[in-house]
Amino acid sequence: MIQSKTEYKEYLRRDRIALEISNESISNKIKNLFFPNPVWRFQKLMRKLEYYTNCKNKGLYKLYILYLKYRYRSISIKLNFSIPINIFGPGLSIVHYGTIIINYTTKIGANCRMHACVNIGASGGEIQGPILGDNVYIAPGAKIFGNIKIPNNTAIGANAVVNKSFKKENTMIAGVPAKVIGDIDIKKIIKNG
């Protein structure tokens, strides 16, 4: 969770690296000006809203936060995201826009790489959603639900249904219901992990 301006800038830097967005050359700046990446725009706005909500939530900043919430909701609807703020650690990479739904009680660590059609939420009347560690890869169509924990350095396979906790790190889990199908080197999937 962003608690200072320095952390805000660090989150943005790590998100930019995770999304492989470069602004260093003139040609990249021009390309980003005319063809902006909609996911990067979403993530920048999400981080800005997190920063102002967590660090500057008083006085006239409350009006600015309302404006940011309005913009955040608008872009979320366009990209088909339902992602509350203060869920992800730094280094988030949403690979594609498309349906992504996340429960507000979910917590996800640093360097998460996630594809479209992912659903992460609570289950069976519980309030608490899943807690995912650092360096977690979530393939397209994965469903993760319940008061469960996923360890660091885990890859979740396409269309997996994860409804129980796992303890062993450096594994690939997949299937319906999900089970460990092997060991994995997460650095081959998540470059900044």
- In order, the DSSP letters of 141-168 are T-EEESS-EE-SSEEE-TT-EE-S----
Residue 91 lies inside a defined structural domain of this protein = no
The predicted model scores a pTM of: 0.91
Angle, CA 171 vertex, CA 130 and CA 107 arms, to 5°: 20
Residues 74 and 120 in one domain: no
User: Which residue is it, tokens 């088909």?
Assistant: 80
pLDDT tens profile 78-122:
999 999 999 999 999 999 999 999 999 999 999 999 999 999 999
Residue 157 lies inside a defined structural domain of this protein = yes
3-state DSSP: the chain helix, strand, coil percent, rounded to 5? 35, 20, 45
Residue 61 lies inside a defined structural domain of this protein = yes
Residues 25 and 52 in one domain: yes
Helix (H) or strand (E) holding 77: helix 61-79
pLDDT tens profile 131-164:
999 999 999 999 999 999 999 999 999 999 999 9
The domain in which residue 115 lies consists of 99-193
Distance CA 88, CA 85 (A): 8
Residues 111 and 184 in one domain: yes
pLDDT tens profile 159-172:
999 999 999 999 99
Residue 88 lies inside a defined structural domain of this protein = no
How many domains, the chain?
2
- The CATH number assigned to the domain holding 148 equals 2.160.10.10
User: Which residue is it, tokens 């350095």?
Assistant: 153
Residues 104 and 19 in one domain: no
80, 112, 133 - which closes a domain: 80
Residues 134 and 47 in one domain: no
Residue 92 lies inside a defined structural domain of this protein = no
Residues 44 and 128 in one domain: no
Residues 69 and 104 in one domain: no
